[in-house]
Chain A
Amino acid sequence: MPNTYKKVMLVAIAASVLAGCSSNGNSESSVKPSSSSSPSPSSSSTASPASAEASKEAPTTLKLAVIEMYPGVSFDNKTTHYIEEKTNTKLEITAIPGADFENKLQIMLASGDKPDIIQLGTDALEMKFTKSGLLLPLNASFDKTPNLQKFGEDGIWDAMKHSDGNVYAIPIRGSAIDNIPIYRKDWLDKLGLKVPTTIDEYYAVADAFSNKDPDGNGKKDTYALSGWTANGGFDLSTSDQVFGAYGTLPNSWLLQDGKLVWGSIVPGALDALKFLNKMYKGKMIDPEFVTDNSARFKDKVLKGVIGAPVYRYFLMDSSNLNNYYEPLKQNNPNAEFVEGGILKGPGDSVGFRMLTRRGWLKTAVLNSSPHVDAALRVLDFLASDEGNKYMNYGEEGVDYKVEGDLLTKTITDDQMKQEGIGQLRLAFNALYDQTSPRYRELFDYAHKIGYKDPADGLVVENNTKQVELDQYTGQQYVKMIMSDGPIDNMFADYVAEWKKRGGDALTQAFNDAYQEKNKQ
């Protein structure tokens, strides 16, 4: 007995020291999950397991955990009440802030707080949830939800389909491409240059933009290119025109001879990196490209520091919600951007990165929900023309007016947020009725020069290595762009290490999924 007692004491002492050590720091991670339980927002809704027919009289209470679209704006507004009225429901909405969104959602679910409808972002989490059997197959009840079925008929449901043939999540739909090559038109005019069409012309423009003082202030303070870091990973998309000219897109799949190849490791990527390295040495890339975040990058584009990146095409038109045009004009009244095309390189060029059809945000219904019918009713309504139009613009005659084929908002962006328009994007399809002819022209052009990701819509259930590999790639690419010496060996080492770290297995998995899909 005394011996055991001693042992217990020893463990207790050791534990106390352990606890003491971690008390001051950040190792909360090591022991947190068991103790953290988020308080559930009023779980008073004890409605009996739903009978959809009976609910015609009494509204069904649904619990939703969604991403916070407008920080600080309550859901007690006109739009939410409109949905509730139309679908005979009462919505209890928990909005989770965008940062660390998925982690918080998982902790919420693990602590036993089960909403009826949830939202998620990454494919990885979708796979994890379906593996744990949490999500309801939506296609099983498509006959009861005709609008929802129509929502994804043009290939979206194919892209969302898992290997078991089921669809578990609804993607939020918008433009398939945001970024195209853009050039400062006023700078080109001033320097007597044209929008480049080949990689060599691009180099000449980049050199002039960076070293011939296009803004005329007598200082070396302009650059052709820059970049940014987000979530610990380096974003490579701002130099897609260079990679595209050499026939590749980093951190993206390419189709070569009927096989999927990872764009970061093909030989063309090395040529593009050499080109960027040369640009860096020639002071055409902002030395802060690696330390800036996306906000600072945007600021630099609007302030006139960066002249030839791949960036938002809506910089060229003021008729959109995220208006970049007016702040650009405020900073420099002469500033004007013009779109460019795919640059001709030594071989076959590829176009510009398109966004995945699987959506940056997805909505799903939990299997455990006692109100499946009501939840599907809400989603079906929001997918309908009526519901979707309301979510895009609000109430006709009050929030917007229609003249000819042009739709004009009559309220400010801020009022729009307060009224909750676009706040609850469960089955959302962005509309472009309000935009000007110029915007639509750019929209169509952007979609024309986009490179459709051949792997888009492939469901690879074991894709946990992806994030890690992309971060590793960003890190190595930055080193090669900034390198003083030759980079051939660095690239070879990087490719070997990428394969070793799980890249080969990932490529295999994606190719298997690709073959499987094309067989069907």
Chain B
Amino acid sequence: METVHTYKREEPATKRSSRLHPIYKDRHLYLMLLPGLLFFIIFKYVPLYGIVIAFQDYDIFRGIRESEWVGWDTFKEVFAYSDFWVIFGNTLQISVYKILFGFPAPIVVALLLNELGNRYFKKYVQTILYLPHFISWVVISGIVLTIMSPTNGVLSIVYEWFGMEPKNLLADPTAFRIILVASDIWKDLGWGTIIYLAALTQVDPSLYEAATVDGASKWRQTWHITLPGIRNVIVLLLILRIGLLMNAGFEQILVMQNSAVLEVSEILDTFVFKFGLQQGNYSFATAVGLFNSLIALVLILGAQWISKKFGEEGLM
């Protein structure tokens, strides 16, 4: 046995040395990869161990090792929670609205910007569009509150012009969702155009020349040259965006919601934060978080599969 064992051990060793060669050759590249790799291992993979909390009756003082195992009980509790499906529905609904209206918006704006002749005017507009991206949601929420205020806001003056009674739109369930989606688009519209503008520079200018010669209008050129030219970028970003479907905007909603619109604005993330973390139900929070991640995984794989079906490159 011993001899066989040593023999077996030696063979792959020689094999490995020959395999090692390219790694050795590119060792500097691998070295540069290392910090990123370590980041993911330490901060993304190792904490995955914490998922076991979802299957325990986790007591923060007894720790993972000594807490009691309860199997799927926490998940049963989650799904039986009176508001869970309402919250789940809200998450999907707000997120779908944001994708439906928020995803095409930067594409349209990028196309419009691309058509601008004056370079300085273009830069000027771009910079102004970027700005809101750097403002935190807390500040934006303050701005929205001030604009929407029925007692002393800008909007109340507009209402008065039309001889209407000012309403508190932030306390109106229908209006609140529109405000959520609109302020989200406003904040990240400019930022989103950057990638598309970069992609637009890759479209071969000779195609436009040929089209002009053939007498194609601007609209035709956009439809047949520009959009197909950036199609792969659009699909890639859409897949990534769909992967984030379950993140309906934690920060934004947390700072903007109030009791009157809680029923339409409570999403999984804010619920986990309030019920799980602030009230110390760690197992519950982990179970909801895990459920959330699983859906995101399914979504991203599904989007990937569909894009492959349509002959696009996808992520992997």
Within 8 Å CB of B269, what residues of A? 25-27
Range of interface residues on B (Cβ < 8 Å)? 35 or more
Please tell me the number of chain A residues within 8 Å of chain B, measured between CB atoms: 57
In contact, B285 and A291 (Cβ under 8 angstroms): no
Interface string of B37-54 (1 = CB under 8 A from A): 000100111111111011
The minimal Cβ–Cβ distance linking B236 to chain A, given in whole angstroms, is 14
Chain A residues with Cβ under 8 A from B145's Cβ?
291
Task: Give the tally of cross-chain contacts (CB within 8 A).
Answer: 167
A290 lies within 8 A of B293 (CB) = no
- A21-B297, A103-B280 given as contacts; is B259 within 8 A of A474 (CB)? yes
Residues of B within 8 A of A321 (CB): none
Interface centre among B246, B258, B272 (most CB of A within 10 A): B258
Asked whether A128 is an interface residue with its Cβ less than 8 Å from the other chain, the reply is yes
Residues of chain A within 8 A (CB-CB) of B259 are 229, 232-234, 290, 471, 474-475, 478
A22 interface residue per 8 A CB criterion:
yes
With both chains docked as a complex, state the minimum distance between the C-beta of A229 and any C-beta of chain B, in angstroms. 5
- Return the chain B residue nearest A502 by Cβ: B82
Per a CB cutoff under 8 Å, which of A26, A34, A288 touches B49?
A: A34
Contact B244 A24 (CB under 8 A): yes
Q: Chain A contacts of B152 at CB under 8 A?
A: 221
Interface residues of A in 174-230 (CB under 8 A from B): 221, 229
Which residue of the partner chain A has the closest CB to B173?
A479
Partner of B247, one of A18, A24, A464, A474: A24
Which chain B residues lie closer than 8 Å to A106 at the CB level?
A: 60, 280
Nearest residue in B to A102 (C-beta to C-beta)?
A: B280
Q: How far is the CB of A361 from chain B (nearest CB, A)?
A: 17
Interface residues of B in 248-300 (CB under 8 A from A): 250-251, 257-260, 262-263, 269, 272-282, 285-286, 288-290, 292-294, 296-297, 300
Report whether B47 and A110 are in contact in the complex, using a CB–CB cutoff of 8 Å.
no
Query: B residues 27-82 with Cβ under 8 Å of A?
Result: 40, 43-51, 53-54, 58-64, 82
CA distance A23 to B243 in the complex (A): 11
Q: Provide the bound-state CA to CA distance between A288 and B151, in Å.
A: 8
**What 1/0 mask marks residues of chain B from 80 to 95 whose CB sits below 8 Å from any chain A CB?**
0010000000000000
Question: By the criterion CB–CB under 8 Å, are A29 and B280 in contact?
Answer: no
Please measure, in the bound complex, the distance between the C-alpha atom of A326 and the C-alpha atom of B150, giving whole angstroms: 28
A17 in contact with B300 (CB, 8 Å): yes
In the assembled complex, which residues on chain A have CB atoms less than 8 Å from the CB atom of B289? 22, 27, 29-31
**Partner pick for B273 among A21, A26, A125, A305, CB 8 A cutoff:** A26
Contact (Cβ within 8 A) A23 B44: yes
Within 8 Å CB of A17, what residues of B?
A: 297, 300-301
> A494: shortest Cβ distance to chain B, in Å?
13
Q: Decide yes or no whether A98 CB sits under 8 A from chain B.
A: no
A19 on interface, CB distance cutoff 8 Å: yes
Instruction: State the majority secondary structure of interface residues on A.
Output: helix
Report how far A467 CA is from B50 CA in the complex, Å: 26
Report B-chain residues with C-beta under 8 Å of the C-beta of A29.
272-273, 276-277, 285-286, 289
- Decide if A45 is an interface residue (CB 8 Å cutoff): no
Interface centre among B61, B167, B243, B294 (most CB of A within 10 A): B61
Residues in A with CB closer than 8 Å to B116 are none
**1/0 per residue A9-20: CB within 8 Å of B?**
000001111111
* CB–CB A132/B59 < 8 A: yes
Contact of A100 among B171, B247, B278 (CB under 8 A): B278
In Å, the complex CA distance between A35 and B49 comes to: 9
Interface string of A275-312 (1 = CB under 8 A from B): 00000000000111011000000000000010000000
Q: How far is the CB of A464 from chain B (nearest CB, A)?
A: 7
Q: Are A288 and B168 in contact (CB under 8 A)?
A: yes
Q: Measured between alpha carbons, how far is A233 from B49 in the docked complex, in Å? A: 34
Shortest Cβ gap from A276 to chain B (Å): 14
Are B50 and A291 in contact, with the CB atoms below 8 A? no
Chain A residues closer than 8 Å to B59, beta-carbon distance: 132
Does B170 lie at the interface of the complex (its beta carbon under 8 Å from any beta carbon of A)?
yes
Query: Any chain B CB within 8 A of the CB of A33?
Result: yes
CA distance A144 to B293 in the complex (A): 55
A134 within 8 Å of B by Cβ?
Answer: yes
Contact string against B for A residues 370-391, beta-carbon threshold 8 Å, 1 for contact and 0 otherwise:
0000000000000000000000
The CA of A286 and the CA of B297, in the complex, are separated in Å by 46
What is the distance, in angstroms, from A306's C-beta to the closest C-beta of chain B?
11
The one of A24, A34, A229, A231 in contact with B47, judged by C-beta atoms closer than 8 angstroms, is A34
CB distance from A16 to the nearest CB of B (A): 8
The answer to whether the Cβ of A109 comes within 8 Å of any Cβ in the partner chain is yes
A110 to B275, Cβ gap below 8 A?
no
Give the complex CA separation of A32 and B276 in angstroms.
12
Q: Which residues in B have some Cβ–Cβ distance to A below 8 Å?
A: 40, 43-51, 53-54, 58-64, 82, 145, 149-152, 166-168, 170-171, 243-244, 246-247, 250-251, 257-260, 262-263, 269, 272-282, 285-286, 288-290, 292-294, 296-297, 300-301
Task: Using A18-B48, A106-B60, A124-B279 as known contacts, list a sample of 6 further A-B pairs with CB atoms less than 8 Å apart, ordered by residue number in A.
Answer: A19-B48, A22-B296, A27-B293, A31-B47, A34-B49, A290-B260
Q: Which A residues fall within an 8 A CB radius of B?
A: 14-27, 29-35, 100, 102-103, 106-107, 109-110, 124-125, 128, 132, 134, 221, 229, 231-234, 286-288, 290-291, 305, 464, 467-468, 471, 474-475, 478-479, 482, 497, 500-501
Q: Offer 14 A-B interface pairs, CB within 8 angstroms, sorted by A.
A: A16-B44, A18-B296, A25-B246, A26-B273, A27-B272, A29-B272, A30-B285, A31-B47, A34-B53, A110-B61, A232-B259, A287-B171, A464-B281, A475-B259
